[in-house]
Amino acid sequence: MKLVQNSWNLGDVISVNHSIPIKFIEAAGADNTENFIRLLARDVYSEADSQSLYDYLTGPDRQWGLSTEVFAFLRMWLEDELKHYRAIQRVYRAVSGVSYEYIEQQEADRVHEVEPINFVLNNEFTFLVALAFDEFGSTLSYRRDLQEYYRHYGPEVASVCQHLVRDEGAHAQNAIQLLIERHGHRLDEVEETLSQIIELEASLGRYCKTFFLDHAQEQDRFPPFFNEVVVQIILSRLGLADKPSGARVRETWNWKPVGQHLTPVA
């Protein structure tokens, strides 16, 4: 199978010493910038957590074998996710003024919990369903972040998020293709597996710092029908349901809580 990858060079998009012109900061407003900093302070580490997930999946603790095709995908996926970590580092530093040394130390101090999310890691089929769920969710989430935050801070910052959206969409589509090619005989189990993943995420009520189910830390930012749309996208890509309407998908990033001009980041 031919894997899909969005090719881009981080240094061509945003420099390591990027500075945001004050006009963008002023136009965005203090409330927006404060929320953006809180968002970046979460997302930068969530992307770095991809390394812990990769290490577990390719390490001695895993009780099942990775197919050659999935292993090849994981290597490409990790390359992209660590690029996201470095990209968001640059945005976070430019917006907040925190140092790279601080970010790296905070990342090094994180404790990654695999046990609470064992269900999504107990076989290749469930892992791929969970990855499709996570990456399609991230595609919509970053599209929302572009709308609310990244686009206000200059073309370089906006371009970072545009690439995040494309990358996550490519990862999700690769997971779909691997499900079809490697586990086509189990597609009738996908919908129930997705329901179990959603129940797990809700029951955890927190993010375990192992990349998967990181949307548990920002449920208040999403409309009540967010997971429903993600599930319908996945099922439609597998030929198991009609795709959601474009208007319904756009609602996932245009929705705001009643009385709010943006979705506050807790």
Residue 263 lies in a domain: no
Q: Taking the CB of residue 248, how many other CB atoms lie within 10 A of it? A: 14
CA dist 121 and 62 (Å) reads 8
CATH assignment at residue 231: 1.20.1260.10
d(CA 228, CA 222): 11
Residue 233 lies in a domain: yes
Q: What is the pLDDT of residues 51-73, one digit of tens each?
A: 999 999 988 867 678 899 999 99
For residue 77, tell me if it sits in a domain: yes
Q: Which structural domain, as residue segments, surrounds residue 64?
A: 22-254
Contacts of 176 (CB under 8 A, 6+ apart): 132, 234, 237, 238
- Residue 247's H or E segment, with its range, is helix 246-254
Contact 117, 208 (CB under 8 A): yes
Above pLDDT 90, what percent of the chain?
Answer: 80
Q: Does residue 105 form part of some domain?
A: yes
**Residue 181 domain flag:** yes
Residue 263 in this model has a pLDDT that exceeds 70: no
Whether 113 is covered by a domain: the verdict is yes
Whether residue 206 is contained in a domain is answered as: yes
Global pTM reads 0.94
The mean of the pLDDT values for the chain is 93
Lowest mean pLDDT among 36-45, 87-96, 200-209, 240-249: 200-209
Whole-number Å distance between alpha carbons of 143 and 253: 6
What pLDDT, on a 0 to 100 scale, did the predictor assign at position 264?
60
Compute the distance between CA of residue 106 and CA of residue 44 in angstroms, rounded to an integer: 10
Q: How far apart are CA 212 and CA 247, in angstroms?
A: 27
The enclosing H or E element of 201 equals helix 190-204
- pLDDT for res 1: 77
Tally of structural domains, the chain? 1
How confident is the model at residue 44, as a pLDDT?
97
**Predicted confidence (pLDDT) per residue in 91-136, tens digit:** 999 999 999 999 999 999 999 988 989 999 989 999 999 999 999 9
Q: Would 211 be classed as within a structural domain?
A: yes
